[in-house]
Amino acid sequence: MDVAVFLKRKPKKMDFHQTHCSHVVPHQSACKNKKKKVGNLDDDGTLNKEIKLCGLKSFWELPEYMKDNEFILSYYRVSWPLKEALFSIFRWHNETLNVWTHLIGFLLFLGLTIANVMQVPQVADLLGLFTRSILTIAETNVSLNSKEFFLGTTELLDLKQITSPKIDITPPGTAVSRWPFYVFLGGSMFCLLSSSICHLFSCHSRHLNIFLLRIDYVGITAMIITSFFPPIYYIFQCVSHWQYIYLGGITAMGMFTIVTLLSPMLSTSKFRAFRALLFSSMGLFGIIPAVHGTIVNWTNPKRNTILVYESFMAIFYLTGTGFYVSRIPERLKPGWFDLAGHSHQIFHVFVVLGALAHYGATLAFLDYRDRVGC
């Protein structure tokens, strides 16, 4: 072999994730244009079309702003065009389940909102349709038995009760206002949707990554704030000054949290525990009105039902936060949970479960106030 030819050869670079990651120059787009025989006629008469193929990268190939979790080693999208990022919702990468867990949660709450709008006549009144009629729902004895727990939820959600002979027609204006209920649903949907969008498109660029992370934190804060509106409004409906005190307090805490987290520095993995502390502090603020409300409404027949739902909500949220901060299980086996089962996906599932538990408690609040009033 000619020595000059041998010296001109470049050594082949080995890629750590060669089996599933396309090797590209670090910090540049992992997308390449390739021709496929499906498009227009080429010069040689062949049907060709340029398509953009985007590969995945390992943790060590990421730009610094994307290095959030060193225990997830592969399947990263970097500098993907918006179109490819959008359609990556149907591809496997380490954000796929992060997107879908909260997107499914958003669709679920959207469905619950539509169902409630359709069956709550107060909303129809605002649209100039029908006068309101109030459903009377049989009292559900709460048990820690899971079967009875979920049967009680199903009874509250049963749309067939609209045409049930148990309907009690009452004059307009006697039912409790529904706006706090819809504020909670709106806040939950905003949080879940903004989270899905953040996980889907944050791979596009550094500027979009920072912007979407801020929106994600705003969504989490909004969900926490709006979750306070139904219980505080309905518990203290007859003593409005407590409504102003507690709702004003949590809103002020939320605004402080949003302003604090708008700093790009606080979006980094270094401040993961600090962010969790801010969100947890907002949640723990709820202990004060919860204890106050329990004392005031000790004889409320819905007390046990509401306490069960809210206890489940607290357990779900705290458990999810624990996974978020500890980064277990991927911390124990780095690389094993890159696609499925890592802590952020588990955190997402517990957030949806906590919101659903709070939704059940809110239905109990509504039913009680519709029956009793002040």
Residue 370 tokens, joined: 């519709």
Taking the CA atoms of residue 137, residue 110, residue 267 and residue 65 in that order, the dihedral angle to the nearest 10 degrees is 150
- Look at residue 134 and give its three-state secondary structure: strand
Q: What is the DSSP string of 24-44?
A: --TTS--EEEEEEEEEEE-TT
- State the Cα–Cα distance between residues 359 and 289, nearest whole angstrom: 18
Spatial contact of 162 and 130, defined as CB atoms under 8 Å apart: no
Q: Are 17 and 58 in contact (CB under 8 A)?
A: yes
> Is 344 a known ligand-binding residue?
yes
Separation CA 327–CA 273 (nearest Å): 11
Residue 204 annotated as binding? no
The alpha-helical segments, DSSP class H, found in the chain are 3-8, 82-87, 96-119, 121-126, 146-157, 179-201, 206-235, 240-261, 272-285, 287-296, 303-326, 343-372
Binding-site residues sit at 199, 344, 348
Binding residues for Zn(2+): 199, 344, 348
